[in-house]
Structure 1
Amino acid sequence: MSDEPSISGLLAAASARAVPVVRGVTDDRLGDPTPCAEYTVRELVGHLTHVVVGFQAYAAKGQADFSVTPDHVGEDPRWRERFAAEARKLAEAWAAPGAEEGTAGQLDLPARTLGHMALLDLLVHPWDLARATGQEYAPDPAVVDALVQVVERMAPMAREWKAFGDPAPVPDGATSFERLLATTGRDPRPDTV
């Protein structure tokens, strides 16, 4: 584990790319669809905020309730700033001694697995939001590198839980990030023929 990058550092790097995308979501786009068919832009911002809050609890070996996603956008007019603050707190929570050790959560999963799950959401959902709202998004290469094999390993279980769709075709010359997106069931180049 000592050769692997820290979850905290990766979360900070992913957050640095995610926060500008969330800040760039304009109110007139909140009802728009996203590549996550079950979420509008508003609902996806709410889900992502819920993840960064809930996984802070997991870092402290606590519990989080993901059965219902609060309307973070409707409840707080400063939702963009709140997301940025909570993303920062998430990285800080995973920097605490022992956060990456042992197990946590309702399913008693390895802590690093939970950290990777949060990291995946912070990597992929900003892409979803950027696609939905016409923004640019370039993921942090270190985050992509840290997750490529993890996502391959978790894909069968994630599909069983309906967290991933069926794998999408991988285009010729695909980047590591595009292959990762395809593994999650997203078309990494929906505008190409």
Structure 2
Amino acid sequence: MATEISNLLSAAAPRAVAAVRGVSDDQLDLPTPCSEYAVRDLLNHLYDVVVNFQALAGKRQPEWTEKPDHLAEGWRDRFEAETAKLVEAWSDPAALDGVSPGMGLPQETVGTMVLLDLTVHAWDLAVATGQPYRPAPEVLPPLYALCEQMGPAAREQGVFAEPVGTSSSDAPEMDRLLALTGRDPGWSAGA
């Protein structure tokens, strides 16, 4: 069975997996658009997100405090396998019912939040490592709506930075999404 969230995750997942697979070992210490994360840190964070949001789909408490280094032998293959499990976890219609005991938000919102991380952090990794990245077009409208809805609270909690000035309606949709999360769509490691 599938849900709207699992369909969107299915569209976003291969692009995130490609960005992860495109990171070479000699790029792990490069900076990213997430100023607090080097590539290695962002990969570990994204791995944690993918695993913990599997638990959230099952309405279980995630484990955010443990911060293992996931970049051991075979980490690219494990990331792909965990991402497939994430899509599967959100394909159960029951995953979208009610409020998340782990986040205190509607489950549909939680599912869209992991879609946001998968999409935006894939862009972060791609731009940090010189890879091309094009998001799945169908994920952008719900992500933009989520960022408009949750943006003030996310900025207050330090999850998003202040919006960047690329929010005009004629800017590409991905650029507007990045701007809402406080990212500069023109970011480059050398800037």
TM-score normalised by structure 1 residue count: 0.92
Deviations 1:122-170 (A, max 9, x none): 0100100011100000000001122111111010011011110011111
In the TM superposition, structure 1's runs of 4+ consecutive aligned residues that sit over 6 Å from their partners are: none
Deviations 1:34-84 (A, max 9, x none): 0000111011011001101000001111010223432111xx311101110
Calculate percent identity across the aligned residue pairs: 51
Superposed counterparts of 1:38-49, under 5 Å: 38-49=36-47
1:104 aligns with 2:100: yes
Instruction: Decide whether the 8 Å contact of 1:151 with 1:183 is kept in 2.
Output: yes
**Counterpart residue number, 1:23:** 21
Instruction: Decide whether the 8 Å contact of 2:56 with 2:102 is kept in 1.
Output: no
User: Take 1:174 and 1:102, find their aligned partners in 2: how far apart are those partners?
Assistant: 35
Work out which of the residue numbers 129, 152, 163 in structure 2 matches 1:167: 163
Counterpart code for 2:75: W
Superposition deviation, residue 102 in structure 1: 0.8
User: Take 1:105 and 1:178, find their aligned partners in 2: how far apart are those partners?
Assistant: 33
**1:95 aligns to what SS in structure 2?**
coil
**Counterpart residue number, 2:140:** 144
**Counterpart residue number, 1:89:** 85
**Counterpart residue number, 1:178:** 175
Instruction: Decide whether the 8 Å contact of 2:103 with 2:110 is kept in 1.
Output: no
TM-score normalised by structure 2 residue count: 0.92
User: Take 1:137 and 1:37, find their aligned partners in 2: how far apart are those partners?
Assistant: 20
Gaps of 5+ in 2: none
**Counterpart residue number, 2:150:** 154
Instruction: Decide whether the 8 Å contact of 2:53 with 2:86 is kept in 1.
Output: yes
**2:50 aligns to what SS in structure 1?**
helix
User: Take 1:11 and 1:66, find their aligned partners in 2: how far apart are those partners?
Assistant: 21
Aligned residues: 186
Superposition deviation, residue 171 in structure 1: 6.8
**Counterpart residue number, 1:10:** 8
1:79 aligns with 2:44: no
1:57 aligns with 2:55: yes
**Counterpart residue number, 1:130:** 126
**Counterpart residue number, 2:68:** 70
User: Take 1:98 and 1:127, find their aligned partners in 2: how far apart are those partners?
Assistant: 30
Superposition deviation, residue 174 in structure 1: 1.1
Work out which of the residue numbers 184, 187, 190 in structure 2 matches 1:190: 187
Superposition deviation, residue 108 in structure 1: 2.2
